[in-house]
Each structure stands twice: as C-alpha cells, then as structure tokens.
C-alpha cells in the first residue's frame, strides 16, 4: 500500500514537471526567460516608439493625418482614465493607462496580423507576447502595484481601512479580492489571445485562405476589445484605490 502511494506521488511529480509548449530560452544570470516573447515585445515597442516620434515631432495648429490620428488616440485614452478615475486625478495616470492599452493592442495585433510561423527558431515559435502567461501576469502585477501606490500615496496607511469596511467580518474577502484582481486580468487576456490564435490555426489547416480571413478580422476586433477591457479595469482599480477611505 505504501509503495503504491509512493509510486503515485512520483508520477504526480513527473506530471507536474511537464511543460506545455516549447520555448526559446535565454539564460540571463541564474534565470531563464522566453526569448521569443522578448523579440516580439521589442518589435511592438519599437513600432509604437516610431509612430509616437513621427506623430509628435512637428505639431501644427492644423494637424496632418498622422498628428490627427495621434490626437484622436490620446483623447480616447484620456476619456478612459477620466471616466474611471475621476476628472480631478486622472491626468497623472494617463501615461500608465495609455501604455498598457497600446502595448496590449500592439501585441495582440502583432499576433493576429503577422505570420510569425514562417520564421523558424531553434525552439518554440514567435507569437503575440500576450500569448504567454508570464507577460499577462506581469502586466496584471503592474496594475496591482499601481493601484496600491495610488491608494497609499493619497490616503497613507488609512488606505488599509478599506479592508475592514463596511464591517471587519469582510477582512478575509477584501484581502482575497486583491489576489483575484490580477488573476482575473491575466487569465482573461491570456485565454482570449490563446483561443483566438488556436481558432485561426485550426481553420487555416482545415480550409486555407477563404475561411481564416473573416476569423482573423473577428480576431482583430476581439484583440482590441481585450486591450480596452484590461486598460479600463486597470483604471477602475486605480480609481477605486483613490477613493477617500482615509478621510472618513
């Protein structure tokens, strides 16, 4: 009996060590990172930087097409921050909300539009950075750090009074909520991006060219919605943290 339990335990350990998918690993000191995620992330960041530089290097009173587009994007992102955080405190959080939205949107679109599978790597394959759970978890943790910073910077230690409101009985639930927020953000984004890429891949194998095109267009729309949801929820969490708990 004990021998069987020991064998089952060893099988469980071996099963838990199995890794889903292959990755291009880069060794940085004592750490191993997914190289393909960094490659596509740098490409997305480079494109965003080039667009921002060319769109703002010469600002005119009568904007050209690129400047007009950049101003439209900025106003759209400002509206997200203003609606969720509040008119008096949203300005300092526009850069963070904008960066989150543009990076996720660029990453999602890069995975949906660019045929990365044509580029052969020694191991793994190039894909959207948001197709990797490590990326989405990192973005979610940044949002957690942001709303903790927002609450503490405004209310000091009084920010933690929110954990016992409206009654101390809710203390465990309120603490648990801070763990579920990044989990829901990261898994929602990761799951939707992964599912979209899998659907396109399956349709491409079954019916090449004709059927995948509408699915890809739908994927672009879904990718945009995911970026909007992530940035809106991030702004909402920051706005919630900025509420004056410490002033009551």
Q: How far apart are the C-alpha atoms of 134 and 190, rounded to whole Å?
A: 9
Task: Give this prediction's pTM.
Answer: 0.82
Is residue 220 within 8 A of residue 94, CB to CB? The reply is no
CA 211 from centroid of its chain's CA atoms: 28
Backbone angles phi, psi at 165, to 5 degrees: -105, 140
For the chain, how many residues are written?
248
For residue 166, whether the previous peptide bond is cis, meaning omega lies within 30 degrees of 0, is yes
Query: Where do the DSSP E strands lie in the chain?
Result: 25-28, 31-34
Quick one: pLDDT at residue 13? 41
1-5, 145-149, 190-194: lowest mean pLDDT where? 1-5
Closest CA to 80 of 244, 243, 242, 233: 233
Q: Residue 90 phi/psi, 5° resolution? A: -80, -25
The residues spanned by each domain of the chain are 18-247
The number of beta carbons lying within 10 Å of the beta carbon of residue 101 is 23
Three-class SS state of 207: coil
| Residue 86 · residue 97 · CB < 8 Å | no
Using DSSP bridges, classify how beta strands 31-34 and 25-28 pair: parallel, antiparallel or unpaired. antiparallel
3-state helix, strand, coil in the chain (%, to 5): 75, 5, 20
Q: Give the helix/strand (H/E) hosting 99.
A: helix 94-113
Q: What are 108-144's pLDDT values in tens digits?
A: 988 877 776 777 777 767 788 898 888 899 999 999 9
Percent above pLDDT 70 for the chain: 81
What does the alpha-carbon distance between residue 182 and residue 142 come to, in Å, rounded to a whole number?
A: 9
Per-residue pLDDT tens over the stretch 225-237: 999 999 999 999 9
Give Cα 108 distance to the centre of its chain. Answer: 10
- Reply yes or no on whether the pLDDT at 11 is more than 60: no
């Amino acid at each position: 009996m004990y021998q069987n339990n020991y064998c089952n335990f060893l099988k469980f350990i071996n099963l838990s060590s199995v890794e889903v998918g292959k990755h291009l690993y880069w060794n940085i000191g004592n750490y191993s990172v997914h190289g393909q995620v960094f490659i596509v992330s740098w490409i997305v960041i480079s494109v965003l930087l080039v667009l921002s530089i060319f769109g703002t290097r010469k600002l005119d009173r009568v904007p050209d097409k690129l400047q007009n587009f950049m101003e439209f994007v900025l106003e759209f992102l400002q509206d997200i921050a203003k609606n969720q955080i509040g008119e008096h405190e949203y300005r300092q959080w526009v850069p963070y909300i904008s960066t989150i939205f543009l990076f996720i949107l660029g990453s999602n679109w890069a995975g949906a539009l660019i045929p990365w599978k044509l580029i052969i790597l020694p191991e793994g394959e190039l894909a959207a950075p948001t197709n990797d759970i490590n990326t989405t978890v990192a973005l979610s943790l940044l949002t957690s750090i942001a709303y903790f910073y927002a609450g503490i910077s405004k209310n000091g230690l009084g920010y933690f009074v929110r954990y016992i409101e409206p009654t101390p009985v809710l203390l465990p639930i309120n603490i648990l909520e801070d763990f579920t927020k990044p989990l829901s953000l990261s898994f929602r984004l990761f799951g939707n991006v992964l599912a979209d890429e899998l659907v396109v891949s399956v349709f491409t194998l079954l019916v090449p060219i004709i059927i995948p095109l509408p699915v890809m267009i739908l994927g672009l729309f879904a990718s945009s919605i995911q970026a909007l949801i992530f940035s809106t929820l991030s702004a909402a969490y920051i706005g919630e943290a900025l509420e004056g708990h410490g002033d009551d």
